[in-house]
Amino acid sequence: QVQLVESGGGVVQPGGPLRLSCAASGFTLGGSGMHWVRQAPGKGLEWVAYTPYGGNIKYYADSVGGRFTISRDNSINTLYLQVDSLKAEDTGLYYCVKDGGNWELGHWGQGTLVTVSS
Amino acid sequence: QSALTQPASVSGSPGQSITIFCTGTTSDVGVYNYVSWYQQKPGKAPKLMIFGVRNRPSGVSSRFSASKSENTASLTISGLQADDEAHYYCCSYTASNTWVFGGGTKVTVL
């Protein structure tokens, strides 16, 4: 079955970088669109980024404004989110999500927590 | 991209039906049939409940139904059960090739 395991979260100072990883199993990453979604503590869901199965096109939320980069390594079935110039408002749980094929967010990982604090 | 609009909370007694409305614009809900709904319980990842406006994934109870009219989508839970208590989020694909969520609705079973 589909399994997504995120890692790479932690405490980082404002302005710092972080790279989040998502290990995928139970399906072929290269054949699937993939998203990152985040959730600030006690708040709602916010879509962050998407890459279709081809991987060459990437879409981002305006709020992450060129600071985030989604990428994938299909050879090791791993999705990444490079987050740069981190701000306090980037604090939250970051979920890796497999697209369901009809523009829905089909399968979710358990998330990795990013805390931006000095 | 502004968030879709959902009520902060909805409540009902066991066995009753409740409906959650989700209002968007002509750039998202109104123009695409790519509205989905998610259930999130405390400490858990969201779970897909509805996709393509009205379709249930395998394993989701038929007590959950959904529809859309113009810029507003809706999720109805029939025969409300204690286990339905959770936050529910609507989501739509948009004309900007992005996705937008609603603010979330807390469903309380009285």
Six-digit token string for A72: 């994938």
Nearest to B46 among A62, A103, A108 (CB): A108
Six-digit token string for A73: 């390594």
Residue B64 main-chain phi, psi, to 5 deg: -100, 125
What type of residue is A43? K
Residues 6+ apart with CB under 8 A from A105: A35, A37, A97, A98, A99, B36, B38, B46, B48, B91, B99
pLDDT tens by residue, A54-81: 768 999 999 997 899 999 999 999 999 9
Nearest to A59 among B36, B47, B97 (CB): B97
Q: Do B57 and A50 touch (CB under 8 A)?
A: no
**Distance separating alpha carbons of residues A9 and A81, to the nearest angstrom:** 11
**Distance separating alpha carbons of residues B71 and A83, to the nearest angstrom:** 34
Percent of chain B that is helix, strand, coil (3-state, to 5): 5, 50, 50
The pLDDT of residue A91: 98
Q: Do B57 and A59 touch (CB under 8 A)?
A: no
Q: Checking DSSP bridges between strand B9-12 and strand B105-109, what pairing results, if any?
A: parallel
The pLDDT profile of chain B, 110 residues, written as one tens digit per residue, is 789 999 999 999 999 999 999 999 999 999 999 999 999 999 999 999 999 999 999 999 999 999 999 999 999 999 999 999 999 999 999 999 999 999 999 999 99
The pLDDT of residue A55: 67
Q: Do B45 and A46 touch (CB under 8 A)?
A: no
**Distance separating alpha carbons of residues A83 and A64, to the nearest angstrom:** 9
Tokens 């990795």 identify what position? A112
Q: Do B100 and A47 touch (CB under 8 A)?
A: yes
pLDDT tens by residue, A18-58: 999 999 999 999 999 999 999 999 999 999 999 998 768 99
**Distance separating alpha carbons of residues A52 and A54, to the nearest angstrom:** 5
**Residues of chain A neighbouring B34 (CB-CB closer than 8 A):** 102-104
The pLDDT of residue B2: 86
Give the residue, A6 or B1, on which the prediction is more confident. Answer: A6
